[in-house]
């Protein structure tokens, strides 16, 4: 919408007028009152003005179209007044642009891929369930940097902190048990590798989420020492114990029957890690519980999203003011001509 082409009649289309915002909409009430005031003034004039007798010639008064011309100056003046009031209402359009930004949070996912994660008390197994909720967790983040560490008998940094969520989710999807040859569960080493990836981060909030189902029985550093190291770098640690204890399903036997094994985990060790890391410990015994745990962590670790709004307002009152001046000049031109003094013969 450009005001330089003000002579176009498109400015008076209903669509154009509805598209405007009006800074002073009270002016529209004056538009309604304007013809009412005029009719009231004319009624008072006809009631109280002295009556002058007029002698008529001929057999009667005949209607002549030329007598309507006397109303043209009045119509022009009315249009001019209405357009002035429309300009006074100050039609305008506002373009608003909103930018969202946040300082973000650095999050390191530390995922156990040891043999025990094949246990099928989750659907289809513990690892696949963990991968699914991790991907869902990533989908809910905004401008946070997320990294990934995997471990079994040793630990490996699979992804540094990144905002490339598509790449990160692809890496999580590709995780399988063949990625680690060493057997066991090196929780201490996994915490140390995750901490090493985050130690140079200058983020105001750094979070490490450790998901495991076993006891620390491998690696060359104990979990509590690693947790203290993480705490020294300002990293908060959430620990999630995944799986049930006792008899749990683990694959099929030769005849296709479900095979069960006895499972145990060091819940106390995971609680101590979370305590040292000033975070929380959670227990997830099925798919739904695991989803709820990640949902809770997701709500705890939300960065404040800030908005910057840019508002550009453009006025169009000048278009209607120009039209009002045109009609006012036409009124000035016609009110002193014969048009306003046409008489019926």
Interatomic CA distance for residues 310 and 294, integer angstroms: 36
The pLDDT of residue 3: 46
Distances, alpha carbon 290 to alpha carbons 104, 170, 197, 226, in Å: 24, 21, 25, 24
Q: pLDDT digit string (tens) for 289-300?
A: 899 999 988 888
The pLDDT of residue 343: 45
Q: Strand 235-242 to strand 258-263: parallel, antiparallel, or no bridges (unpaired)?
A: unpaired
Instruction: Please check the confidence at residue 74 and state whether its pLDDT lies above 50.
Output: yes
Instruction: Check residues 37 and 244 and name the one with the higher pLDDT.
Output: 244
Copy the structure tokens of residue 121: 């008390």
Give the start-to-end residue ranges of the domains of the chain: 9-50+63-96+318-340, 106-300
Distances, alpha carbon 181 to alpha carbons 158, 177, 187, 325, in Å: 15, 8, 16, 87
The pLDDT of residue 13: 85
The pLDDT of residue 73: 81
The pLDDT of residue 283: 92
Positive/negative CA dihedral, 15, 18, 23, 28: positive
Instruction: Check residues 85 and 6 and name the one with the higher pLDDT.
Output: 85
The pLDDT of residue 52: 54
Closest CA to 223 of 283, 155, 291, 286: 155
Instruction: Please check the confidence at residue 1 and state whether its pLDDT lies above 50.
Output: no
Contact 250, 259 (CB under 8 A): yes
Q: Which residue has the tokens 């905002």?
A: 163
Instruction: Please check the confidence at residue 60 and state whether its pLDDT lies above 70.
Output: no
The pLDDT of residue 67: 61
Mean pLDDT of the chain: 84
| Whether the predicted model's global pTM rises above the 0.85 cut | no
16-21-26 Cα angle (round to 5) = 110
Instruction: Check residues 56 and 139 and name the one with the higher pLDDT.
Output: 139
Per-residue pLDDT band for 145 (boundaries 50, 70, 90) equals very high
Instruction: Please check the confidence at residue 64 and state whether its pLDDT lies above 70.
Output: no
The pLDDT of residue 239: 96
Instruction: Check residues 2 and 45 and name the one with the higher pLDDT.
Output: 45
**Stretch 12-36: mean pLDDT, rounded?**
85
Instruction: Please check the confidence at residue 134 and state whether its pLDDT lies above 90.
Output: yes
Among 93-97, 267-271, 341-345, where is mean pLDDT lowest?
341-345
CATH 3.40.50.410 holds for 106-300: yes
The pLDDT of residue 261: 76
**Stretch 257-284: mean pLDDT, rounded?**
88
Interatomic CA distance for residues 51 and 46, integer angstroms: 9
Instruction: Please check the confidence at residue 80 and state whether its pLDDT lies above 80.
Output: yes
Instruction: Please check the confidence at residue 31 and state whether its pLDDT lies above 50.
Output: yes
The pLDDT of residue 41: 75
Q: pLDDT digit string (tens) for 182-217?
A: 789 999 999 999 999 999 888 888 999 999 987 899
Instruction: Check residues 74 and 80 and name the one with the higher pLDDT.
Output: 80
Contact 115, 214 (CB under 8 A): no
């Amino acid at each position: 919408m450009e005001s330089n082409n003000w002579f176009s009649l498109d400015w008076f289309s209903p669509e154009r007028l509805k598209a405007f915002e009006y800074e002073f909409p009270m002016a529209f009430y004056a538009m309604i009152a304007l013809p009412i005031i005029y009719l009231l003034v004319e009624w008072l004039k006809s009631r109280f003005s002295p009556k002058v007798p007029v002698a008529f010639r001929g057999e009667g008064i005949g209607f002549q179209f030329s007598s309507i011309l006397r109303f043209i100056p009045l119509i022009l003046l009315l249009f001019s007044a209405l357009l002035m009031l429309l300009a006074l209402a100050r039609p305008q359009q506002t373009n608003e642009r909103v930018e969202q930004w946040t300082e973000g949070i650095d999050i390191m996912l530390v995922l156990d891929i040891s043999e025990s994660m094949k246990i099928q008390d989750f659907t289809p197994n513990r690892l696949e369930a963990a991968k699914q909720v991790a991907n869902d967790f990533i989908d809910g983040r905004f401008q946070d940097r997320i990294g990934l560490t995997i471990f079994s008998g040793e630990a490996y940094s699979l992804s540094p902190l990144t905002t490339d969520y598509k790449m990160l989710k692809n890496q999580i999807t590709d995780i399988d048990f063949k990625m680690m040859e060493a057997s066991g569960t090196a929780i201490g080493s996994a915490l140390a590798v995750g901490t090493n990836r985050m130690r140079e981060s200058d983020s105001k909030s750094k979070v490490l989420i450790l998901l495991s189902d076993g006891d620390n029985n491998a690696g060359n550093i104990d979990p509590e020492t690693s947790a203290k190291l993480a705490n020294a770098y300002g990293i908060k640690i959430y620990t999630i114990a995944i799986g049930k204890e006792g008899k749990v399903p683990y694959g099929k036997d030769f005849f296709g029957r479900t095979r069960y094994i006895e499972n145990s985990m060091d819940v106390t060790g995971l609680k101590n890690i979370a305590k040292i890391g000033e975070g929380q410990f959670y227990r997830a015994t099925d798919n739904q519980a695991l989803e709820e745990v990640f949902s809770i962590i997701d709500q705890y670790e939300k960065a404040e999203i800030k908005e910057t709004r840019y508002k550009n307002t453009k006025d169009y009152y000048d278009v209607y003011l120009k039209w009002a001046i045109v009609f006012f000049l036409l009124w000035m031109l016609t009110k002193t001509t014969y048009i306003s003094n046409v008489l019926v013969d």
